[in-house]
Every structure is written in structure tokens, then in C-alpha cells.
Amino acid sequence: MTENALPAVSNPPSEHPAVLPYDALLVCSFGGPNGTEDVIPFLRNVTRGKGIPEERLAEVGEHYHHFGGRSPINEQNLELVAALRAELASRGVSLPVVWGNRNWHPYTVDTLRDARAFGVGRVLTLVTSAYASYSGSRQYREHLAATVAELGADAPQIDILRPFFNDPGFVAANLAAIEEAGASLEGGIDGAHILYVTHSIPDTMQDASAVTGPGYREQHEDVRAAIDAALGARLGAPVASSLAYCSRSGNPATPWLEPDVNDHIEELAAAGVTKIVIAPIGFISDHMEVAFDLDVEAMETAGEHGIAAARAGTVGVRPEFIGGLVDMILERAARERGEDAQAQTVGDLGAFPDVAPAGSCRMRHGEVTGIPVLAGPHD
């Protein structure tokens, strides 16, 4: 069994004034298989009740088997945890950082049970999705509510950091990664089309994400505009760019956000584009969607159409990103203490609220499932 290969980590709770009232930070992520025998049980966890066709499961299983049945996401989350600890420590802040997943070991429930045994009473949670939609936001809030219910009297009190897509550090880290990738192209970034990419979601999920605030697509468009403006200012000329989507699944008859990245690369080639930077702004690390759907498939599509392509790195543990997250943590803690701490953002949309509004980020607009959530009203 590989399930204990990456155990949850615990430290004694915090007593540092800068992070009070929090005792610990929970990094709550998606999870991924650690070996061949994990792949199918993991995929069953992810797709339970989702109506994903068997063929799609087999296909995605193959993507994992292509990498020895091991998703890169677990090591990446361990690196994220280590980087957050190092940044907190370098600022003289002591805040234990623990890690738990929604779909695979270490499960959030095990991590929190462990943390509670070490005396952790109140936890701030960083959900590893930058953008708000059902998949990146409410589904985690449902997961955390279910975890609290399972722990019963042993549950810590849990708060959740707002979506961080427009955090200055996240945007700066993406900008730096795009500039690096651009520099690797012949003739540099000059004249390159910036192809921003994110995970596709069903149109119904997009619509539901846009009910109480800017939707999933609009959040990405805001990041795109902010990066384009910064790049354009550096280059002294406007930047050509677009937003495309990868990794659609579900029933092929169900509409999802388009254009698909591969179709869009073909369109760009037909329009005469000869070099692109593929910028995966929708993902924080090079997990399976990036490693397969972009590095294998999209790069192949570009090659077939005579386009020179460089894939920008994900934000990973870039210092701008980690620094921005720690700023967000300290800012939230200060707000919880009743201090007047202003949320820092770039772009036009402003900070999302600390507590999600009623009805936000449902799977489908108007569908009230009655599934309990944390950090927001149940409906």
C-alpha cells in the first residue's frame, strides 16, 4: 500500500500574536494517487455521483499510468507546505502548517484529527484553487463541513481564506513565469501570443459561479488583463492574448467552457500566429492536467501546426506567490482580531469576501442541494 507514503504532518499549535486567533494553517488540496493501485480508487472518489462516463475514467486512468500511477500533486503540496513554513519562519511568525486532501491520503479528516490531538482549536484553511467556482470553492466548503461533522466534538473551528486569483503575489508570480518562458523562445517574448489556459467547467457551473459576484471566466479574464497590462508596459507595445480551456470531461453533449486549448491553437495557427507562450494561470502547480493536457497534448498540437510554443511554469513555490499567501494569512488573522486590515488585490474585481455569500458557487444556478458548507450560509 502506498497510502501512508505521505503522512500528515503536525506541529504544536501556534501562540504567535501575528496569527492569533489561529492555531494552525491547513493546506486543503485535491489529492492524487501515489501508485498504480491507487489510481482507480482515487478516480472513484473524485467522480462519485458526477455522471462521468466509464470511458472518460479509463482515459484519465491512462494519463496517470503514463506517469507510473503517480500524480505529481502530492510532492508539489509537500513543497508548498515547506515553502509556507519557511516564509512564515523568515518573518518570525510561528504557525504550524498541516496538509489534508479531499480525494486521497492524507485525507483532511485524518490531518485535523491529528492536529486536534496536538491542541489545535482554530484553523485557517488555504484551499489550493485560486479561482471561485463549485469545483474550486463550494465543493471544498462542503468537504470541510462533512469533515467537521465526521469529527464531531473533536472538530476544530475552521475558517477559509478567500479565493486568491487576484492576489498581487499570485499575479506577479504568473507574470514572472510568463516572462521566463517567453525569454526561452527564439527572438524572446516579442511578438508572442500569450495563451492563458485554465480548467474547463460545465457552462452550468460557470453560470452558477457568476450569481453573487464575478464568475469563474471573469476572474480569469481579470488576471489576463492585469498580466497583459504589465507585460505590455514592459514591452512598450500591446500584448496579443486569449484565454482557452483544457481538461473537459463529462458527457460530450454537455456544454463546457470553450475554446478547448487544442482547437484554439489550430485557430491561432490559421490566423498566422507563429509563437505562443502557454500560461496555465488556472493551476497552481504542474499537476496532471498541466503535465498531460498541456505538456503532452497542447505542445504536440502546437508542433503539428508549426507554432513555436513555450509553457510557462505554474506559480508553484515562487517567492512572489508564497509571500502573497503569507500576507493574506496575516491580513485575515488581523481582521479576525478586529483590526482594520485591508485586502490587497490587483485587477478590477476587488477582494472576494472572507465568508461566501448565500447561493454562491453552486453546481447549478438555483439548485439547492441542502449539502452543508463551511464559511458561508448553507444555501
For residue 195, report the phi and psi dihedrals to the nearest 5 degrees: -105, 100
215 is an interface residue for ligand HT9 by CB under 6 A: no
Residue sitting closest to ligand HT9 (CB): 249
Provide the β-strand partners of residue 28: 100, 127
- Quote the least distance from Cβ 209 to ligand HT9, whole Å: 10
**DSSP letter for each residue of 34-47:** BSGGGHHHHHHHHH
Scan residues 223-252 and list those touching ligand HT9 (CB under 6 A). Answer: 247, 249-250
Dihedral over alpha carbons 97, 43, 368, 158 (to 10 degrees): -10
* 73 near ligand HT9, judged by CB under 6 A: yes
For ligand HT9, which is the closer residue by CB, 239 or 298? 298
Name 101's Cβ contacts closer than 8 Å, sequence gap at least 6: 28, 29, 30, 31, 77, 107, 108
Of 221, 219, 225, 243, the C-alpha closest to 131 is 219
**Is 71 annotated as belonging to a binding site?**
yes
H-assigned helices in the chain: 39-47, 54-66, 73-90, 108-117, 139-151, 168-183, 203-209, 216-235, 261-270, 288, 299-304, 319-336
Candidate list 6, 24, 32, 167; residue touching ligand HT9; CB under 6 A: 32
The Cβ of residue 206 has, within 10 Å, a number of other Cβ atoms equal to 20
Q: What is the DSSP letter of 254?
A: S
Q: Which amino acid is at 200?
A: S
Site for ligand HT9 in 130-159 (CB under 6 A): 133, 135-136
Residue 288 near ligand HT9 by CB under 6 A: yes
Question: In the complex, what is the shortest distance from the CB of residue 94 to ligand HT9, in angstroms, rounded to a whole number?
Answer: 28
- Residue 199 annotated as lining a ligand binding site: yes
Residues 35-64 within binding reach of ligand HT9 (CB under 6 A): 43, 46-47, 50, 52, 56, 60
Per-residue mark of binding to ligand HT9, 170-209 (x: CB under 6 A): -----------------------------x-x--------
* CB of 75 or CB of 266, closer to ligand HT9: 75
How many residues sit close enough to ligand HT9 to count as binding (CB under 6 A)?
28
Q: Which residues of this chain interact with ligand HT9, rule CB under 6 A?
A: 30, 32, 43, 46-47, 50, 52, 56, 60, 71-73, 128-129, 133, 135-136, 199, 201, 247, 249-250, 282-284, 287-289
Please give the annotated binding residues for Fe-coproporphyrin III, written as ranges. 71, 140
